[in-house]
Amino acid sequence: MSKQFIFSKAAVDEIEAAFNAPGGDAAYLSPTPFAVAFKTLESPIDAPLQLPSRVNPKSDIDTAIALYEAYPNLNPLEASSRGFWTYLTHVDLWSYMRNRFPLSADMDVAARRNKIKDKWFLGEPSQWSLMRHPLAGLWWGVKLSVDESRGVGKYDLTRILFRDLDFLTRTLGTYQLGRLPAAVRGILGYMFNHQEDFKGQFEDKTRYIMKHFNSMGGALHLGCLDENFYADELDRTRDEWLNPNNKTAPEAQPAAAETQSSSQS
Amino acid sequence: MRANDLNFPFPVLGMPGVMQGDPPKVAYTSYIPDKNLIQVPYRWVFDIDIKNQCILNLIQAGKAQYMCEVTCSATLMRKCIFSSTPKIEVVLGRREVNKRVEFALYVVAKKHIANYDNDAANEDYRELAPFDIDVGSPLAVLSSYRWDADLCYEDLTSLRSILQVLKNTSDPTQEYVTLNLEHEYIQIFLPAQQYDAFMEKSHTDAFGEVIKSSLILYALQAALNQFSSDLTHRWERAVDTYIRQDSKFEGLSLENKGDIPLIAAKMLGNPFKRLGETLPKLTVLSAESAEVSGDEEEEAE
């Protein structure tokens, strides 16, 4: 099997510098990936076959699963590599990126530059930056939620996580709680088993739930608790989160161990 | 509930002013393998010493346990390692972590503890005791420790590990030196012409000191003034680690802006002193240059 190419650190810097130069965003309007000219390295990662045809710009969940299955054995270091993700956005998945995040010459220049910066580049890797990156976030979203013990339904919980972008990129996915497998399985498993309860006000309910656990994390080490704890807690507080706008979610405590992961943490 | 500004509704050993008696102590040993032995993991051993008999009894009874929480934001890692003995070993694969890794040690409740009453707790708590303690609640906050996987093989005393001098290619009209502090390194961008001169002269000892005491000192001070304790960027973590580890920075803090000139000067090895020692050589060079220049003029005539 051939190996995946990635950009060297220096190449990522050079691509960024080229983008930052006056008119540097013009290259992103071309259907041809300009970055192939920059220095690449052969990584130990197995290169998947026909990746561009496996992703779908119209479906994040399908793309997420396709990406995860294309790179099932990425180790955490590889999966947080700027050289790897920048190579995918600029070369292998150039077409996908341009279809998923259309750019045009008519766009306001500042808006176009911001869009390119946000979507094509990965900043210093952190839970926040990785989960908000359009490819890394998809791969990591599956990684955090895939449950092999469910057999053919191993992506059941992933589908819940991807139901709303807010849940993936602003709450569970970017909260430190999201790094705890027991918490992810407990919360998403409960939501999967009680899908009727989440038919409306999905974002409000999940935000309430996340604030609730965030608050609990101020006094408890949530890493000590198994997935049953999370399901039981959701059952216990069901009346509250079912009507999230009628109740005030507890404020996060100053001593909170559970915080939203920021780029600095 | 906050009693006397204490954070937990029950007494937690290690929180300021909560318990009488000796505070908990943690000593650690780290085992960082040779850079090239990538199959050999990183390893830490934490030795914990607490004297609080009530907590020791709970651990002995299997109702509480020692815990080390290890987090690494760059690889979305968060794991808890538990121990019933006052020794915790943490083993992390070389591919498991990237950039900053944080360790936090506690004693936590392993089971529900009814009627918890620690007789070393201060009076605020004694009046409110006993407490029901939930699983996962901290009984002792022991210590925290941070380490950087991407810096552990770097010589932080070397400027190369912190800053880069680059040619400004993105804006050819720019006449001034500009800084980029949003990068992994402190990036100093020189106008193209100055950059070429810099590259030509920077490797000369005498001119190197001039450059350090002018351009580099200026850039470093400017960067340190923007230093954020959030440690968002690699250069901030590198500076933070260097300052914490090297005794020459003792008593100095980046939080105190008045300390920044001295911190910068120490980081650069006292550049003005070195410049002073170099000036006589520069004078000789200048004189030689003048002679050469004069000879050339004579020859031209």
Check CB contact under 8 Å for B134 and A20: no
Could you read off the pLDDT of B163-185 as tens digits, one per residue?
999 888 777 788 899 999 988 89
**Pair (B245, B284) in one structural domain:** yes
Residue A123 has pLDDT above 60, yes or no: yes
Question: Final residue of a domain: which of B88, B116, B148?
Answer: B148
Residues of A in contact with B71 (CB under 8 A): 176, 179, 265
Cα distance from B256 to chain A (closest Cα, Å)? 21
d(CA B243, CA B266): 10
B177 and B289 together in one domain: yes
User: B102 vs chain A: nearest CA distance in angstroms?
Assistant: 9
Q: Do B136 and A264 count as a contact with CB atoms less than 8 A apart?
A: no
Q: pLDDT band for position A260 (50/70/90)?
A: low
CB-based contact A179 B169, cutoff 8 Å: no
Q: Which residues of A touch B72 (CB under 8 A)?
A: 76
Chain A contact present for B79, CB below 8 A = yes
pLDDT reported for residue B112: 95
Residues of A with CB below 8 A from B135's CB? 220, 224-225, 229
- Cβ within 8 Å of residue A71, ≥6 positions away: A4, A45, A48, A79, A139
Q: Across the interface, do B169 and A21 touch by the CB < 8 Å criterion?
A: yes
Residue B297: per-residue pLDDT? 46
Interface of A with B in 65-124 (CB under 8 A): 75-80, 124
Do B98 and A77 lie within an 8 Å CB cutoff? yes
> With an 8 Å Cβ cutoff, is B74 touching chain A?
yes
Q: Is the pLDDT of residue A75 over 70?
A: yes
Closest CA to B180 of B116, B235, B102: B235
Confidence of residue B2 (pLDDT cuts 50, 70, 90): very low
Chain A residue whose CA is closest to B237: A264
Residues A46/A52/A57/A61 CA torsion (nearest 10 deg): -30
In a domain, B154, yes or no: no
* CA A57 to chain CA mean position, Å: 15
3-class DSSP assignment, residue A94? helix
> What confidence tens digit (pLDDT) does each residue in A166-215 have?
888 888 888 889 999 999 999 999 999 999 999 988 999 999 999 999 98
Looking at the structure, tell me whether residues B83 and B185 fall in a common domain.
no
Q: Categorize the per-residue pLDDT at B289 as very low, low, confident or very high, splitting at 50, 70 and 90.
A: low
For B67-84, how does the pLDDT look when each residue is reduced to its tens digit (9 = 90+)?
A: 999 999 999 999 999 999
Average pLDDT, chain B: 88
Spatial CB neighbours of B115, under 8 Å, sequence gap ≥ 6: B130, B131, B132
- Note down the domain range covering B136: 25-148
Q: Is B250 within a domain?
A: yes
- Position B153 in a domain: no
Are B173 and B290 part of one and the same domain? yes
Domain identity same for B136 and B166: no
pLDDT of residue A226: 93
Please indicate if any CB of chain A lies within 8 Å of the CB of B171: yes
Among B125, B148, B171, the domain boundary falls at: B148
B181 and B204 co-located in one domain: yes
Task: Select the residue from B63, B67, B76, B103 to test the A interface by mutation, using most A Cβ atoms within 10 A.
Answer: B76
Q: Mean pLDDT over residues A251-262, rounded?
A: 48
State whether A254 and B95 contact (CB < 8 Å): no
Provide the domain count of chain B.
Answer: 2
Instruction: Report yes or no: B73 at the A interface, CB cutoff 8 Å.
Output: yes
Instruction: Identify the residue with better confidence: B212 or A49.
Output: A49
Chain A residue with Cα closest to B187: A13
Please tell me the predicted confidence (pLDDT) of residue B127.
Answer: 82
* Beta-carbon separation of B134 and A220 below 8 A: yes
For position B215, what pLDDT does the model report?
Answer: 87
Question: Where residue B288 falls among pLDDT bands split at 50, 70, 90?
Answer: low
Mean pLDDT for the stretch of residues B89-94: 97
**In this model, does residue A164 exceed pLDDT 50?**
yes
Final residue belonging to a domain, choices B122, B148, B174: B148
Q: How far is CA A218 from CA B105, B212, B267, in A?
A: 16, 47, 39
CATH code of the domain covering residue B49: 2.60.40
Predicted local confidence at residue B290, as pLDDT: 54
Instruction: List the structure tokens of B82.
Output: 């538990």
CA distance B81 to chain A (A): 9
User: Average pLDDT for residues B226-236, to the nearest whole number?
Assistant: 91
Whether B20 maps to a domain, the answer reads: no
Please report which residue ranges of A133-226 form alpha helices under DSSP H.
136-145, 156-161, 165-169, 181-193, 202-216
- Any chain B CB within 8 A of the CB of A17? yes
Residue B294, pLDDT > 70, answer no
The more confidently predicted of residues A138 and B128 is: A138
Paired with B221 in beta bridges are none
Contact B107, B55 (CB under 8 A): yes
Tokens for B262? 């001295």
List CB contacts (< 8 A) between A24 and chain B. Answer: 170
CA of A196: how far to CAs of A51, A61, A150, A190, in Å? 36, 21, 21, 11
At residue B284, the pLDDT reads 58
**Chain A interface mutation, best of B8, B10, B78, highest count of A Cβ atoms under 10 Å:** B78
The per-residue pLDDT for A253 is 43
In which band, very low, low, confident or very high, does the pLDDT at B287 lie, cut at 50, 70 and 90?
low
Per residue in B30-64, pLDDT tens?
999 999 998 999 999 999 999 999 999 999 999 99
- Looking at residue B286, its pLDDT comes to 56
Query: Would you give the distance in Å from CA B160 to the centre of its chain?
Result: 17
Interchain proximity A126–B74, CB inside 8 Å: yes
CB A78 within 8 A of CB A43: yes
In a domain, B82, yes or no: yes
Please state, rounded to an integer, the average pLDDT across all residues of chain A.
Answer: 90
Whether A215 contacts chain B with CB within 8 A: no
- Of the given ranges (A127-141, A213-227, B39-53, B135-149), which has the lowest mean pLDDT? A213-227
Of B69, B72, B95, the CB nearest to A223: B69
B291 and B180: one domain? yes
B168 and B143 belong to one structural domain: no
User: Domain locations in chain A?
Assistant: 3-138, 147-242
Whether B81 contacts B149, CB under 8 Å: no
C-alpha count within 13 angstroms, C-beta hemisphere, residue A125: 26
Res B299: pLDDT? 47
Q: How far is B42 from chain A (nearest CA, A)?
A: 14
